[in-house]
Amino acid sequence: MDDGAAPDRIEALEREHSEQVARANAAVAAAQDRSYWLDRWNVDLNAVMRRRGASEARAALRAVRAIYRLLPDGWRALRKAARKAPDKLASTRQTVAQDRERALRAALESAGLQARDGDLWVRDADGLDELRGRLPAGARVVLEAEGVPPAALLARCTPDWRVALYLEGNPDVYVLEPR
């Protein structure tokens, strides 16, 4: 055996022993800190835990603690979703508008009316007043009007126009053609 190795080994063992003692002292101090208030208030934790409902109370406390720990993740996810909401809303509106236009075109075709490039699409009956006298010859107007009965629409149109198609819905759709 090497004579220089023995003192080094002894020092290493002493260091390890002092670290173990320090850890044990820290554990005892932590236990004393936890039990201080129980001793001060004369609470016997073993007696409390033997009572009926103690394990349920512990389970409830664990559940509350788990929820409390999850809250930051939930808030983070909620903020992330809130940041994405405007883009999601715009995308949804665009998809709904495209689907609605496809359905409307299909309804026009099923009624025997082919969509034309010159068709004017108006979203409000007030837009008809602006179009009066400015429509090109042979043009059709596809009007989406909510709450406008056919009689009221015909009263607003000139005698040169007729309702070629009426689709009841929300909003109602009228196709106006020249006579």
Measured in degrees and rounded to the nearest 5, phi and psi for residue 141 equal -120, 125
- Taking residues 70-86, report their average pLDDT: 87
Per-residue pLDDT tens over the stretch 90-138: 998 889 878 877 877 777 777 666 666 666 666 666 666 666 566 666 6
Whether this prediction's pTM lies above 0.85 is answered by no
Closest of 108, 155, 117, 112 to residue 136, by C-alpha? 117
Residue 84, token pair as written in the block: 């994405």
Contact (Cβ atoms closer than 8 angstroms) between residue 157 and residue 128: yes
Per-residue pLDDT tens over the stretch 17-50: 999 999 999 999 998 888 888 888 888 888 888 8
